[in-house]
Structure 1
Amino acid sequence: MTTTVVIVGAGPTGLTLACGLARQGVAVRVLERAAAHATGSRGKTLNPRSLEILADLGLADGLAAVGRTHLPFRKYFDSAFVNETEPFAGARPSATTPYPASRWLQQPQLEQLLRERLADLGVTVELGAELVDVRQDAHGAEAVLADGRRIPAAYVVACDGGRSTVRKLLGIPFVGDGDPEPMMVCGDVEVEGLEPDAWHQWFGPQGAFMLCPFEGSTRWQLQASPETDAEGRTVPPSLESFQRLAARHTGREDLRLSDATWLSTWRINVRMAERYREGRVLLAGDCAHVHPTAGGLGMNTGIQDAWNLAWKLGYVVRGLAAPALLDTYQEERLPIAAWTLDVTSSGMAAVVKGIETPGIGVEAGGVGDFTGLSLGYGWSSLAGGGATDALKPGDRAPDAPCPGPDGAPGRLFEQFAGDHFTLLAFGPGARPALAGLPDHVRPVALDDPDGEARRAYGITGEALVLVRPDNHLALVAPATAPEQVRSYLEYLERLGA
């Protein structure tokens, strides 16, 4: 099968995009420069919006079997216990939100689940495939590898991280700044003498030292202010350095660390690509934006980039939408990246300030909506007409009960799952509009006997609600105006013409 899309990078962003394209039948290849899959814990939080996306891709059961949704933050100051908090202590699933809390897990666990899903769709990640050049013209693109192979494709998507080779080859400015001094050292370790029932956070005049456990694993993620030598130079991360830091911050000699792996020094960078598209090449994830770790938004923002791009790129190559639809990817996601840089910078500043305040922990960085559930695209050219008492086009479409034709229990998210638009018909007067729809639009007649869907969507009478493949509202129309739905779909086909 001729390659249609080449994806450079096999982290969460690239794998999510690959799954979203492959299940549409798009011929995709995923290139990974490394010779083996990464094993370090790295990103460790999936927020509720990312969990909805991954469930749509078929990963709900796999994710439920790994990680945890409730993780207490146990805080110490100058080695003494101060307090314990749990950010999602009262979070419970609701009619509109099946995933009210973040899930804590190791990034390799997520990547393995995504690779398995991708394999089910007939695609395997190609390891040791280093891209050294990308070429394009009006008719297609070409990925050139270090071993001399050339892979022609219709599009190339760069998901190759903050030091992106593709972004540099394209000459796209990575605008922003960074702190030249290291702020944190990181690593995965074994820990003896500490209960793995909480994220332990030691703050104080000497800085920060944190140990986060992982459910079902003996590994902990260590993050700490770096050790310095007599000349004030940063000591490279090592087991010996980690052990000295542990004794200094915790005041405990019985806390023993061992088997240190994935040693890393982390610096603050706040940068964003000036543009997300250069002809037939697009950027996603850390390749397009990097920011402080406050709120754990890095992996999540990349997954949500991929979710936005997957349906649009799939629709373009399948002939369901005009190529100009790809311009709406930057239109919608670049402002989200700008917001992310702002809110994580503010959050990191709050955490740094709180290091010298007893009882303050990493939740001080939660200065915005880190669930992702309130983020939408109300400014987008894809936001059609109409609105309800609760929602407007561009908003995330909430879940709600949706009984099947036989009355069997069901959910709206089950109807949304896939790469189609969904047309919701509220009330008998709206149902005639469900006839004669294109194959990529799923008709759903809502009986809604308890009125929960109406409350979730702010519908008081009869109405039509068109939901995009990425589960954001496209438009709201009167029950008697199905032509508005047809006009919207035709608009996608002639976009940019």
Structure 2
Amino acid sequence: MRTEVLIAGAGPAGLTLACELARRGVACLVAERDAEPFAGARGKGLQPRTLEVFEDLGVLERVLELGGAYPPMRAEIDGEVVFTGHMDEPGEPTSDVPYPNGWMLPQWRTGLILRERLTELGGSVTPNAELVSFTQDDDGVTAVLRVDGAEREVRAKYLVGADGGRSTVRRVLDVAFLGETHEEERALLGDVRAEGADRGFWHVWPQGGGGENPFPVTLCPLAGTDTFQLVLPSPPGAAAEPTLEVFQEAVDRAAGPGRIKLTELVWSSVFRPNIRMAERFRVGRVFLAGDAAHVHSPAGGQGLNTGVQDAYNLGWKLAAVLRGADEDLLDSYEAERLPVAADVLGISSALHQKIRDKAADAHRRDDPRLRQLTLGYPDGPLSAEHRTSPTEPYAGDRAPDAVTGRRRLFPLIHTGAPVLLAFGPAAARVARAVAPASTVAIGSPAFPDEEGTAHTAYGVAPGGTALFVLRPDGYIGLATDSPDEAETTAYLARLGAR
């Protein structure tokens, strides 16, 4: 069997990558070792930047329809409410940030939505397909899959390991997974149905863990479902398994006997915080993404979102190279994503430590970096900041949304291909000469900016001149106030644009 890209793993990262490739006409085989889709909530929070990615992928409408806003937290000690409030106060949408708040969607539903989108794009997932081994050469990767118990050889141009924290791809590559596992912080995680619990709150019992474990018992209503996510820390050395009886006993201790009745355990898992990152994200024709590349504490809701961003970064680059772009473009994946993953890992680890220390603000999630809107690649190899007096946003930053007339920019710049955003007649002339079909000329009759929202969002003074080449993943690549046809053409060639 032959394919262009073999993806090991059909979690959010693998499915996002598959959708990115499929919408560009790249043949990919998604091999998932489990027979059935993942059934648990686990990663339940989508950050604002991920919502923007999902809008580009064409799944945001379903995400918003089937998810919901985070409820306020309500903490109790000995039956008394000691705190009620949000982890992060909800913000209002603006012209440049249309989705300012996190959104709750159980991981199993995120996966199903992405699978549906992949099917719409002509792709599919091969279930019960375990990656056994692989080798690579100058022209591609030869992998052995065990599909329904029978071994099958697959030849691909590239292999992407999105196969989780225990990644087979990473192990075969012998890439170090640096970091630590907090064995003493064993926790039980379950999706449950319950009677007597108010679904308007995320219930927290700070002293419910018992023993020396510093973490609380929490019961969170899962938006768009009739279930709750229950997290039960276990004391060191505890051998309790995640059964309905064990969860019920814990809730009785935390909330008071008979107050909340658990009626069904839908899904469960034993959890130990892992904080690790792969030493490399690329070895030849093989890449690591998502949990295969980095695993996080759940504090801050960064893991799933960072994996989606990995795939969003890698997908268009693989497609461009497979269609003739210089293979050096693929070097930018590790150069851009590894520093971001390290930064995000530091943020989630610091939040995790606050919980361990029982800090008074341990529940707060108002660090703007958590929304992942400010994460970018200003020092990356594709960032070309050529303005004489640069202002935000800079080359490498997320390209903001704006409103021109009655039209939003995002649908115009999220096309899956580079877009030239021109301010002023001189920039518009250059952009149209180089790529007329990909030019958005701000201030022209087609894209008026009477309110100045686009000029403000991109830091361009009224009447000013600027040309921004926006990458296919919605980041600013080239930024110049002296537009030049040769420079613009050369930069587009770096991105693989024809």
Structure-2-length-normalised TM-score? 0.92
Alignment of 1:216-295 (within 5 A): 216-226=224-234, 232-295=237-300
CA distance, structure 2, for counterparts of residue 45 and residue 222 of structure 1: 15
| Equivalent position to 2:151, from 145, 148, 151 | 148
Alignment of 1:21-420 (within 5 A): 21-146=21-146, 147-204=150-207, 206=210, 207-226=215-234, 232-319=237-324, 321-354=325-358, 362-363=363-364, 369-387=369-387, 388-403=390-405, 409-420=406-417
Q: Aligned with 2:184: secondary structure?
A: coil
Do structure 1's residue 19 and structure 2's residue 16 form an aligned pair?
Answer: no
> Match of 1:183, as an amino acid?
R
User: Does the aligned pair in 1 maintain the 2:188–2:268 contact within 8 Å?
Assistant: yes
User: Does the aligned pair in 1 maintain the 2:374–2:397 contact within 8 Å?
Assistant: yes
Name the residue aligned to 1:430: 427
Range 207-216 or range 328-337, more displaced: 207-216
> Match of 1:213, as an amino acid?
P
CA distance, structure 1, for counterparts of residue 136 and residue 57 of structure 2: 30
Cα-to-partner distance string for 1:74-128 (whole Å, 9 max, x where unaligned): 1223442112112454411100011100110111111111111100111111101
Name the residue aligned to 1:456: 457
CA distance, structure 2, for counterparts of residue 311 and residue 68 of structure 1: 30
Q: Aligned with 2:407: secondary structure?
A: coil
Identical columns (%) = 41
User: Does the aligned pair in 1 maintain the 2:67–2:223 contact within 8 Å?
Assistant: yes
Change (3 A) 1:70 1:220: closer
User: Does the aligned pair in 1 maintain the 2:193–2:266 contact within 8 Å?
Assistant: no
> Match of 1:322, as an amino acid?
D
Cα-to-partner distance string for 1:226-266 (whole Å, 9 max, x where unaligned): 267xxx53311211111111011112422101211322111
Name the residue aligned to 2:446: none
> Match of 1:310, as an amino acid?
G
CA distance, structure 1, for counterparts of residue 121 and residue 272 of structure 2: 37
Range 93-102 or range 254-263, more displaced: 254-263
Range 323-332 or range 75-84, more displaced: 75-84
Name the residue aligned to 2:440: 444
CA distance, structure 2, for counterparts of residue 368 and residue 476 of structure 1: 25
Cα-to-partner distance string for 1:420-469 (whole Å, 9 max, x where unaligned): 11101112232211224358x71111121211100011011111111111
User: Does the aligned pair in 2 maintain the 1:376–1:394 contact within 8 Å?
Assistant: yes
CA deviation after TM superposition for structure 1 residue 391, in Å = 1.6
User: Does the aligned pair in 1 maintain the 2:382–2:396 contact within 8 Å?
Assistant: yes
User: Does the aligned pair in 2 maintain the 1:347–1:366 contact within 8 Å?
Assistant: no
Change (3 A) 1:368 1:446: closer
Structure 1 runs not aligned, ≥5 long: 404-408
CA deviation after TM superposition for structure 1 residue 386, in Å = 2.2
CA distance, structure 1, for counterparts of residue 78 and residue 233 of structure 2: 14
> Match of 1:137, as an amino acid?
D
Q: Aligned with 1:94: secondary structure?
A: coil
Name the residue aligned to 1:469: 472
Q: Aligned with 2:129: secondary structure?
A: coil
Structure 2 runs not aligned, ≥5 long: 444-448
> Match of 1:345, as an amino acid?
S
CA deviation after TM superposition for structure 1 residue 479, in Å = 5.0
User: Does the aligned pair in 1 maintain the 2:12–2:110 contact within 8 Å?
Assistant: yes
Range 365-374 or range 296-305, more displaced: 365-374
CA distance, structure 2, for counterparts of residue 266 and residue 384 of structure 1: 43
> Match of 2:264, as an amino acid?
D
Range 60-69 or range 174-183, more displaced: 174-183
User: Does the aligned pair in 2 maintain the 1:143–1:152 contact within 8 Å?
Assistant: yes
Name the residue aligned to 1:406: none
User: Does the aligned pair in 2 maintain the 1:295–1:366 contact within 8 Å?
Assistant: no
User: Does the aligned pair in 2 maintain the 1:76–1:203 contact within 8 Å?
Assistant: yes
The number of residue pairs the alignment matches comes to 480
CA distance, structure 2, for counterparts of residue 425 and residue 263 of structure 1: 52
CA distance, structure 1, for counterparts of residue 240 and residue 235 of structure 2: 5
CA deviation after TM superposition for structure 1 residue 8, in Å = 0.5
User: Does the aligned pair in 2 maintain the 1:383–1:393 contact within 8 Å?
Assistant: yes
User: Does the aligned pair in 1 maintain the 2:21–2:316 contact within 8 Å?
Assistant: yes
Cα-to-partner distance string for 1:346-366 (whole Å, 9 max, x where unaligned): 1001122227x6xx6633x65
Q: Aligned with 1:396: secondary structure?
A: coil
CA distance, structure 2, for counterparts of residue 79 and residue 339 of structure 1: 39
